[in-house]
Amino acid sequence: MRQLTNKRILLGVTGSVAAYKAGELIRELRRAGAEVRVVLTRSAAEFVTPLTFQALSGHPVNAELLDAETEAGMGHIELARWADCILVAPASADFLARLAQGRADDLLTAVCLARGVPLAVTPAMNQKMWANAATQANLDAMRGRGVLIFGPDSGEQACGETGPGRMLEVPAITEAVSELFTTGSLQGRTVLVTAGPTREVIDPVRFLANHSSGKMGFSIAEAAQEAGARVILVSGPVNLPTPDRVERIDVISAEQMLAEVQERVVSADILVAAAAVADYRPVQVATEKIRKTHDRLQLELVRNPDILREVKRAHPRLFCLGFAAETEDLHAHARAKLIDKGIEMIAANRVGAAAEDAEGVFGSDTNALSLLWGEDCVELPLAPKAKLARQLIASLAQRFDDWSKRTNGRGDNIVTLPGNRN
Choice from 89, 121, 125, 348 touching ligand FMN (CB under 6 A): 125
Q: Is 102 exposed, middle or buried (0-12, 13-18, 19+ CB in 10 A)?
A: exposed
By DSSP bridging, strand 190-195 and strand 230-235 are parallel
Q: Which of 3, 5, 17, 264 is close enough to bind ligand FMN by CB under 6 A?
A: 17
DSSP result, 66-122: S-HHHHHTT-HHHHHHH-SEEEEEEE-HHHHHHHHHT--SSHHHHHHHT--S-EEEE
Shortest distance in whole angstroms from residue 98 CB to ligand FMN: 7
> Distance (Å, rounded) from C-alpha 78 to C-alpha 368?
17
Q: How many residues bind ligand FMN (CB under 6 A)?
A: 15
Applying CB under 6 A, does 95 fall inside the site for ligand FMN?
Answer: yes
Does residue 44 bind ligand FMN (CB under 6 A)? yes
Distance, in Å, from the CA atom of 167 to the CA atom of 195, rounded to the nearest integer, reads: 42
Distance CA 389, CA 80 (A): 18
Report CA dihedral (165, 169, 175, 177) to the nearest 10 degrees: 50
Nearer to ligand FMN, 132 or 364 (CB): 132
Work out which of 7, 37, 41, 346 binds ligand FMN, going by CB under 6 A.
41
Q: Please state the three-class secondary structure of 315-379 as a single string.
A: CCCCEEEEEEEECCCHHHHHHHHHHHHCCCEEEEEECCCCHHHHHHHHHCCEEEEEEEECCEEEE
- Give min distance, CB of 76 to ligand FMN, in A: 15
Q: Is residue 18 a contact point for ligand FMN (CB under 6 A)? A: yes
What stretch of H or E contains 412?
none
Site string for ligand FMN, 171-210 (x = CB under 6 A): ----------------------------------------
For residues 17 and 252, which CB has a smaller minimum distance to ligand FMN in the complex?
17
Confirm or reject binding of residue 14 to ligand FMN (CB under 6 A). Answer: yes
Q: Does residue number 100 form part of the binding site for ligand FMN (CB under 6 A)?
A: no
Q: Which is nearer to ligand FMN, 14 or 213 (CB)?
A: 14
Work out which of 64, 71, 94, 169 binds ligand FMN, going by CB under 6 A. Answer: 94
Nearest to 233 by CA among 193, 197, 267, 260: 193
**Is 109 in contact with 103 (CB distance < 8 Å)?**
yes
**According to the binding rule CB under 6 A, does residue 114 interact with ligand FMN?**
no
| Chain centre to alpha carbon of residue 344 | 22
The DSSP secondary-structure symbol of 185 reads: T
Residue of 92, 174, 212, 304 interacting with ligand FMN (CB under 6 A): 92
Q: Which is nearer to ligand FMN, 91 or 186 (CB)?
A: 91
| Shortest Å, Cβ 100 to ligand FMN | 12
Work out the widest C-alpha separation in the chain, in whole angstroms.
88
Asked if 216 touches ligand FMN (CB under 6 A), the answer is no
With beta carbons less than 8 A apart as the criterion, state whether 273 and 321 touch. Answer: yes
Residue 159 catalytic? yes
Among 4, 7, 10, 16, binds ligand FMN (CB under 6 A): 16
152/197 with CB nearer ligand FMN: 152
Task: Give the binding range for ligand FMN (CB under 6 A) out of 8-16, 49-57, 349-357, 380-388.
Answer: 8-16
Residue positions annotated with a catalytic role:
159
Contact footprint for ligand FMN (CB under 6 A): 14-18, 41, 43-44, 92-95, 124-125, 129
